């Protein structure tokens, strides 16, 4: 019988605390970036460069010009970001600090999660404290990974703020000492089912933020105020937010479908039925249906845009409810010991 390593468990808690402090710095930097961007004036808009074209034309044999369809590029001159989420030359030192410190925070955070796992001789997602801390780590990791593909630094305050809240909630609401798993959780499906569930929740977190901003931007545009006003200046237009949210939601939905399947397979092995409308199963199903609705809405006339954004937000609220309320307050087979 393995025993837990309590010293390592205490180191893990120390790492979590350090990570929280680091994220705080990152949060402040991202916030400063948003505030600063309100006032900065940009250089006159340069004509958009054709990607890959400069290289193609040099040999002289072939002349090539390409244009995306008409009516798409209607950027205001004063806007700092276009609809492809490309930013004009704009110095954002605070955002750079935010990202750098955020990476550092993630490294420390990961150390906390890993030491917790080593201390317990198992994957560190067996109770609410561990779901929360591992979930927060994945939210941050998904965000930083997304930065490789898109400049989403305008989400930095939201993400680091949320991660901070999650770490605090874990430490205050669900403090749990390192312990061995109860028999019901002793299954390799714990590794598969829960990790994918938390990963998809992390992705839905990102799309939630995008959808909220999409609604805000839509409202701002409708109100006729100049698009550059206020803290939303760095935020791209609603159409590009919606498109990115859709792509991420599609990935999240695939992962959530897998979560549901893996959960059903595990439930079959543990309780002899793959589906039993346990409270947790009900909400997992509800979330799945809401996001399925979202995907259909995007393809239905009159339901895309704002309505779809509301569905995306509703889906995420269900995810939060499923995690924070159902696990804690609802009686069911998924009530976790050591809460």
Partner 1 sequence: MPRLGPTGMLRWAWRQLTSMKTALQLLLLLAVAAVPGSLFPQRPANPAVVTQYIQDNPGLGPWLDRFQLFDVYSSLWFSAIYLLLFVSLIGCVIPRAVQHWKALRSQPPRTPRRLSRLPEYGTMTVAADTDLTPGRAIEDAANVLRRRGYRVQLRDTGTDLPSVAAERGYLKEAGNLVFHTAMIGVLVSIAVGGMLGYRAQKLIIEGEGFTNAELGYDSFFPGTNFNPGALVPFSLTLNDFDVTFDRNPASYGNPIDFTADMTVQDSPSDTPRQETLRVNEPIGFGGTNVYLIGNGYAPEITVRDGEGNIALQGPVASLPTDATYNSTIVIKAPDARPDQLGFVGFFLPTAMVDEDGVAFGSDPDPYNPQLNLNSYTGDLGLDDGNAVSVYQLDTTELTQLNGRDMPDGGIVLGAYQTYELPDGKGSITFEGLKRYVALDIVYDPGKAGALVFTTLALFGLIITLTTARRRVWIRAGQHEDGRTMVEYGLLARGEDHSLAKEAIRIGSALTAHWNKANDQNRQATP
Rounded Cα–Cα distance for residues 62 and 130 (Å) = 59
Pick from 44, 47, 224, 302 the residue near partner 1 by CB under 8 A.
302
Establish if 121 lies at the interface with partner 1 (CB under 8 A).
no
Give the end-to-end CA distance of the chain in Å, rounded to a whole number. Answer: 23
Establish if 47 lies at the interface with partner 1 (CB under 8 A).
no
Establish if 21 lies at the interface with partner 1 (CB under 8 A).
no
Q: Could you say which residues in the range 207-246 bind partner 1, by CB under 8 A? A: 243, 246
Sign for the pseudo-dihedral over CA of 165, 107, 33, 85:
negative
Establish if 13 lies at the interface with partner 1 (CB under 8 A).
no
Rounded Cα–Cα distance for residues 89 and 331 (Å) = 54
Q: Which is nearer to partner 1, 214 or 220 (CB)?
A: 214
Sign for the pseudo-dihedral over CA of 210, 211, 216, 221:
positive
Establish if 274 lies at the interface with partner 1 (CB under 8 A).
yes
Provide, rounded to whole angstroms, the least separation between the CB of residue 17 and partner 1. 19
Pick from 106, 297, 313, 319 the residue near partner 1 by CB under 8 A.
297
CB 77 within 8 A of CB 44: yes
Provide, rounded to whole angstroms, the least separation between the CB of residue 64 and partner 1. 5
Rounded Cα–Cα distance for residues 231 and 170 (Å) = 30
Pick from 11, 293, 324, 335 the residue near partner 1 by CB under 8 A.
293
Number of residues interacting with partner 1: please give it, by CB under 8 A. 77
Helical axes 6-37 vs 93-120, angle rounded to 10°:
160
Establish if 250 lies at the interface with partner 1 (CB under 8 A).
yes
Q: Which is nearer to partner 1, 108 or 244 (CB)?
A: 244
Establish if 7 lies at the interface with partner 1 (CB under 8 A).
no
Establish if 119 lies at the interface with partner 1 (CB under 8 A).
no
Provide, rounded to whole angstroms, the least separation between the CB of residue 228 and partner 1. 25
Q: Could you say which residues in the range 69-98 bind partner 1, by CB under 8 A? A: 69, 72, 84
Sign for the pseudo-dihedral over CA of 137, 236, 294, 222:
positive
Establish if 60 lies at the interface with partner 1 (CB under 8 A).
yes
Which one of the spans 40-48, 86-94, 150-158, 264-272 is the region binding partner 1 (CB under 8 A)? 264-272
Q: Could you say which residues in the range 174-213 bind partner 1, by CB under 8 A? A: 177-184, 186-187, 189
Count CB atoms within 10 A of the CB of residue 149: 10
Q: How many CA atoms lie within 13 A of 93 on its CB side?
A: 1
Pick from 285, 317, 320, 328 the residue near partner 1 by CB under 8 A.
285
CB 12 within 8 A of CB 178: yes
CB 125 within 8 A of CB 198: yes
């Amino acid at each position: 019988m393995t025993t837990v390593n309590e010293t390592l468990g205490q180191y893990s808690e120390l790492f979590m605390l350090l990570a929280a402090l680091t994220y705080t710095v990152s949060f402040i930097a991202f916030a400063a970036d948003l505030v600063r961007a309100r006032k900065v004036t940009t250089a006159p808009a340069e004509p958009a460069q054709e990607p890959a074209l400069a290289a193609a034309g040099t040999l002289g044999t072939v002349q090539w010009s390409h244009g995306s369809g008409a009516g798409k590029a209607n950027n205001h001159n004063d806007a700092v970001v276009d609809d492809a989420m490309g930013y004009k030359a704009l110095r954002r030192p605070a955002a750079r600090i935010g990202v750098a410190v955020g990476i550092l925070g993630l490294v420390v955070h990961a150390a906390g999660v890993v030491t917790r796992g080593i201390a317990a001789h198992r994957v560190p997602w067996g109770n609410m404290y561990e779901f929360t801390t591992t979930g927060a780590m994945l939210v941050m990791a998904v965000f930083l990974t997304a930065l490789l593909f898109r400049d989403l630094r305008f989400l930095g305050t939201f993400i680091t703020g949320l991660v901070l809240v999650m770490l605090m909630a874990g430490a205050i609401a669900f403090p749990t000492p390192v312990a061995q798993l109860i028999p019901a959780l002793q299954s390799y499906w714990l590794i598969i089912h829960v990790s994918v569930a938390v990963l998809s929740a992390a992705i839905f977190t990102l799309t939630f933020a995008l959808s909220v901003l999409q609604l805000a931007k839509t409202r701002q545009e409708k109100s006729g105020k100049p698009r550059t006003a206020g803290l939303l200046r760095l935020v791209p237009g609603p159409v590009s937010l919606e498109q990115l949210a859709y792509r991420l939601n599609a990935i999240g939905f695939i992962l959530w479908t897998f979560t549901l399947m893996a959960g059903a397979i595990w439930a079959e092995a543990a309780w002899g039925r793959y589906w039993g409308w346990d409270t947790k199963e009900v909400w997992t199903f509800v979330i799945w249906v809401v996001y399925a609705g979202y995907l259909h809405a995007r393809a239905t006339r009159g339901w895309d845009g704002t309505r779809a954004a509301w569905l995306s937000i509703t889906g995420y609220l269900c995810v939060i409810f499923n995690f924070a309320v159902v696990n804690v307050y609802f009686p069911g087979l998924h009530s976790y010991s050591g809460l």
